[in-house]
């Protein structure tokens, strides 16, 4: 990677995150959670990020956007699978750009990069979720050709409910 992308303001570089970026990633994750009004749900630690992103079995990948040597945003993604297409997909878990760097093309650059990566990897789709109240992001995504999947609802099992379900007797 290491490519330089042009924005409307200044060039920026996209690069894969490395283990030394873990403190920056945790800072970005906490800032994203604060923006989404979900900071109280963040239990991630540097050690957990090191293990799950850079350990023996990495569970996701991260791309950082930098202006000069300053990290200004990130995208965390992983592969899923579409049985209907019989192809892998790329799922964007989180996209975040620092508030003072928004509106300069960095988020769009990250999305374009991931779309190219999805095509290169033979993915049948590239998808993500957005909070219903986040109208600026919804409009931005629609401007890029993304369509909301209004016929679908996300279901989640976590914490005690996940443990209970996992321990259920069939």
Query: Is-contact 68 103, C-beta < 8 A?
Result: no
Among residues 91, 101, 106, 141, the one annotated as catalytic is 141
141 counts as catalytic: yes
Measured over the CA atoms of residue 7, residue 136, residue 99 and residue 74, the dihedral's sign is negative
Distance from first CA to last CA of the chain, Å, rounded? 47
Q: What residue has token string 């019989």?
A: 86
Strand partners, 70: 67
> Could you give the CA distance from residue 24 to residue 53 in angstroms, rounded to a whole number?
13
Coil, strand or helix at 125: strand
Positions marked catalytic: 141
């Amino acid at each position: 990677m290491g490519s330089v992308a042009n924005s409307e303001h200044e060039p920026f570089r996209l690069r894969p995150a490395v283990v030394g970026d873990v403190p920056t990633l945790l800072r970005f994750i906490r800032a994203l959670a604060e923006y989404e009004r979900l900071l109280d749900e963040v239990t991630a630690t540097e050690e957990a990020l090191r293990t799950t992103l850079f350990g023996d079995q990495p569970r996701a990948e991260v791309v950082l956007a930098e202006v000069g040597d300053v990290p200004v945003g990130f995208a965390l993604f992983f592969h899923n699978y579409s049985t209907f297409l019989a192809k892998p997909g790329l799922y964007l878990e989180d996209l975040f750009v620092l508030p003072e760097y928004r509106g300069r093309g960095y988020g769009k650059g990250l999305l374009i990069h991931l779309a190219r990566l999805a095509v290169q990897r033979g993915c049948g789709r590239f998808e993500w979720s957005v909070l219903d109240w986040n109208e600026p992001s919804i409009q931005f995504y629609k401007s890029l050709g993304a369509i909301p999947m209004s016929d679908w609802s996300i279901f989640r099992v976590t914490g005690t409910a996940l443990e209970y379900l996992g321990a259920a007797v069939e």
